[in-house]
Amino acid sequence: MSDSTLNPAIETAWVYLVRAGEAVVSAVEDDVKAGGAPPLAWYDVVLELSRAGREAGLRQNELERRLLFKQYNLSRLLDRLEEAKYVERKPCPEDGRGYVVTVTAAGRQFQKRVWPIYRAAIARRFEGRLTNKEAAELGRLLKKLTATESGAE
Amino acid sequence: MSDSTLNPAIETAWVYLVRAGEAVVSAVEDDVKAGGAPPLAWYDVVLELSRAGREAGLRQNELERRLLFKQYNLSRLLDRLEEAKYVERKPCPEDGRGYVVTVTAAGRQFQKRVWPIYRAAIARRFEGRLTNKEAAELGRLLKKLTATESGAE
DNA sequence: TCAACATAGATGCAGATGCATATATCTGTC
DNA sequence: GACAGATATATGCATCTGCATCTATGTTGA
């Protein structure tokens, strides 16, 4: 581990994580744009807010945490979404520093409208490359890799 | 497949691919920056050029293909690397449109200098989260996912 | 109740990316 | 050997990202 070589299994996983991550996301984004829809991140935010409930919404910091966005990126993404009228920011009654973000009716419409485009783009990328079983395993492994520090270090 | 729902295994894999991809790369990049080294992409290019041989080098389009970079991104990345004196672009004798890119001595030094930083950052992210066996399986699956269209579609 | 520090979020500026298109060269065809 | 694509690379412009820092509010403890 403080050897000058990286475990080959880790190295391969790393290389393909970077490339698959970028290439696959980029391919899906291209499909999505060809379908005239905004970037995937828009969908992620609106979906997460819909799940949280139209009334309840979420605090920005909670959205950040759930979607693993950086603070300043989310801040600006919300500016754009707000400008598009897909979300609203309301001052948080319990914490004067914060905002509660909720999805608007237009946001929900947007979500429903673009989902077929996203779904097709994603499916197109996985089908023919991985079996369902493999996809499940991939998901499991990536989830472990994403997990925050817990027992180990 | 033209159903309105995405296969759950694919959906999970997709979600974690996007998040793990971004979060893991971003965590490693942070470590790398904390160590005072330039972005990972610099290393990738220099390494690939070193492997190709100091004399031989590679055409830009070949680098593009191997590293899955977009044409304009590579073009500009090479501008920066050239400015840093880590690589050189020489007109290609066989094709007047193209360039052959080679790594310089300084580029090799750079490569050797930052590798320990990169290696440690990557290892730190995998160790304690995935076993070697799991890392190997992850690599295998990602590789399949990255593969270009072949039999299926 | 005030100082000291922590947290939520926004923002100016520099650098990177995406998109569309430009320029130069190459290849084939008539 | 000229014209119609195709290919290799670069680039202007707008958007997005990263970094550092700012403002405002919250929390704690003497």
Q: Which pLDDT tens digit goes with each residue over B73-98? A: 999 999 999 999 999 999 999 999 99
Residue with tokens 């680098």: B63
| A128 reaches B (C-beta below 8 A) | yes
Distance CA A98, CA B74 (A): 40
Amino acid at B88: E
| A145 reaches B (C-beta below 8 A) | yes
Distance CA A25, CA A38 (A): 14
Distance CA B31, CA B120 (A): 9
**Has residue B152 got a pLDDT over 60?**
no
Q: Which pLDDT tens digit goes with each residue over B18-51? A: 877 777 888 888 888 887 888 889 999 999 999 9
Residue range A90-113: mean pLDDT, rounded:
94
**Chain centroid, CA B97 distance in Å:** 25
Q: Tell me which residue of A106, B82, B133, A27 sits closest to B74, measured CA to CA.
A: B82
Strand extents, DSSP E, B18-98? 58-59, 87-91
Residue range A133-145: mean pLDDT, rounded:
93
Q: Give residue A151's pLDDT.
A: 35
Q: What is the pTM of this model?
A: 0.84
Q: What percent of chain B has pLDDT over 70?
A: 93
Q: Tell me which residue of A24, A56, A63, A41 sits closest to A110, measured CA to CA.
A: A41
Decide if B145 contacts A130 (C-beta within 8 A). yes
What is the dihedral angle through the alpha carbons of B108, B114, B118, B119, rounded to the nearest 10 degrees?
Answer: 80
Residue range A98-116: mean pLDDT, rounded:
93
**Has residue A149 got a pLDDT over 70?**
no
| A94 reaches B (C-beta below 8 A) | no
A119 and B4 within 8 Å at the Cβ level: the answer is yes
Could you tell me the pLDDT band of residue A16, with boundaries at 50, 70 and 90?
Answer: confident
Q: Tell me which residue of B11, B10, B16, B25 sits closest to A141, measured CA to CA.
A: B16
Query: Which among A68, A129, A142 is the nearest to B144, CB-wise?
Result: A129
Residue range B7-17: mean pLDDT, rounded:
89
Distance CA B55, CA B19 (A): 39
Greater pLDDT, B4 or A36: A36
For A20, the closest chain B residue by CA position comes to B146
Query: Which among B10, B15, B70 is the nearest to A123, CB-wise?
Result: B10
Could you tell me the pLDDT band of residue A136, with boundaries at 50, 70 and 90?
Answer: very high
Q: Which pLDDT tens digit goes with each residue over A59-78? A: 999 999 999 899 999 999 99
Those residues whose beta carbons lie under 7 A from strand C are A 26, 29-30, 33, 59-61, 64, 71-72, 75-76, 78-79, 89, 92, 95, 97-99; B 39, 41, 70, 72-73, 76-77, 80, 95-97
**Has residue A11 got a pLDDT over 70?**
yes
**Has residue A21 got a pLDDT over 50?**
yes
